[in-house]
Amino acid sequence: MKHWLSFEWIAALRFLAEGRLQTAFIIGGITIGVGVIVFMSAMLAGLQANFIKRVLTAQSQIQLLPPDEVARPLRHNHGEVELAIVQRPTQRLLSIDQWQTIEAAMHNRSDIIVVANIASGSALAIRGDASHSITLTGVESDSYFRIVRVPDYIVAGEPRLGTDDILIGTELAKDLGVTVSDKLNVSTANGASRVLTVRGIFDLGNKGVNQRNTYVALRTAQSLLDLIGGATSIELTITDIYAAEAIARDIAAAYPVQADSWIKTNAQFFTAVQAQKNSNTMIRLFVGISVAFGIAAVLVVSVIQRSKDIGIMRAMGARRGQMLRIFLIQGGVLGFIGSLFGALLGAAALILWHRYARQVDGSELFPLILEPSLFISAAGLATVTGVIAGIAPALRAARLDPVEAIRG
């Protein structure tokens, strides 16, 4: 094999082999550093995926709403204000103006995947002497359930919505004392009422949502809320979830709607995700710096210890560039070998953590995400760090005067 290696590679590997203890210690340090990077990066990716899944399976990524009604001061023909005090008007339940046209335009956008129109409003669910205020949401299940995956959270019954069917949460079912196939009387503020059959019970993992949210067929909600042919909102999912705010602003500028993205409505969550990303980046940076200093320290010691060897090689005709490459190769080899062991260590720690760290109900704390790109980037980063760390020792070795080095 050595016949295929250049002089620089042979010398670099021989130096590493002769200083076995130093080489073992620095590879161990790199292994721990790369293991920490792999573990933290994969765990953060899993936690972030879990958070986003919980948030975005319970709501749309962009919601289009009718613009707020605005009260304007009454003026005379000459421009004088008749009423000096103007109060904000009570917001009524309104349908989006020309929502069919807007819905068709959303279907034509390449950055939007699913479009679903809904009719939603407040109502009262009554069973016997028990009653509970609810949010009545009328949907077309074929499209809406691709946005909010209610069928995935059904714990009893089935996610089927006929004209007289209703889906309710576990907490509401408990408060009203109903189960699948029981009847509920649903009435709205405009005096409309209807007896609906509980077709399914869901658990979205949030007590407030399970007490409040209910789903019925779109036409049923339109009839109860006096919104015949209307839609109170248009729900969207998009190709890039992190571009939601930019897309929402673009839609709001082009159409007479108010566009709210999941980033805007979950500002605290999004801030927490960004903080986690920043923290992970800082951890990578400081671990990388520590690894670089470790490699540089070992190579500096190696240069000092092998000054006579370097002087002899220089006296035998080795050029400065060759001496430079010898120690750069050592740094790269140390980084690469350490990254391989570190990737294995990080993956093993992640698998063990995923297996034994569980939530209260026994479900996984976060999904296990082991992407090949993570290991490739970790190996590349460690190798490059090793080469960079070897620059200073390599320059020192290349500048050694052969006569002085041999005299020691």
Q: How many domains does the chain have?
A: 2
Q: Does residue 263 fall inside a structural domain?
A: no
Residue 291: which domain range? 2-55+270-407
pTM, 2 dp: 0.65
**Domain end marker among 256, 279, 298:** 256
Q: How many C-beta neighbours within 10 Å does residue 57 have?
A: 15
Which residues 6+ apart lie within 8 Å of 86 measured at CB?
71, 72, 73
Same domain? For 133 and 282 the reply is: no
Whether the pLDDT of residue 1 is over 60: the answer is no
pLDDT-derived band of residue 138, with 50, 70 and 90 as boundaries? very high
CA distance 120 to 213: 10
Note the pLDDT of residue 218: 92
Q: Does residue 89 fall inside a structural domain?
A: no
Q: Does residue 86 fall inside a structural domain?
A: no
CA distance 152 to 200: 12
Same domain? For 275 and 367 the reply is: yes
State pLDDT tens for residues 313-322. Answer: 777 777 778 8
Pick left, alpha or beta for residue 316 (phi over 0 → left; psi -120 to 50 → alpha; otherwise beta).
alpha
Same domain? For 274 and 241 the reply is: no
State pLDDT tens for residues 322-379. Answer: 877 887 888 888 888 888 898 888 888 888 887 777 666 666 666 677 778 778 887 8
Note the pLDDT of residue 223: 92
Same domain? For 249 and 208 the reply is: yes
Report residue 87 as tokens. Answer: 């109060």
Q: Does residue 247 fall inside a structural domain?
A: yes
Same domain? For 230 and 314 the reply is: no
Report residue 362 as tokens. Answer: 């026994």
3-state secondary structure of 371: coil
Same domain? For 239 and 303 the reply is: no
373: Cα separation from own chain's centroid: 17
Buried b (16+ CB within 10 A) or exposed e, 141-180: beebbebbbbeebbeebebebeeebbbbbbbbbebbebeb
Q: Does residue 397 fall inside a structural domain?
A: yes
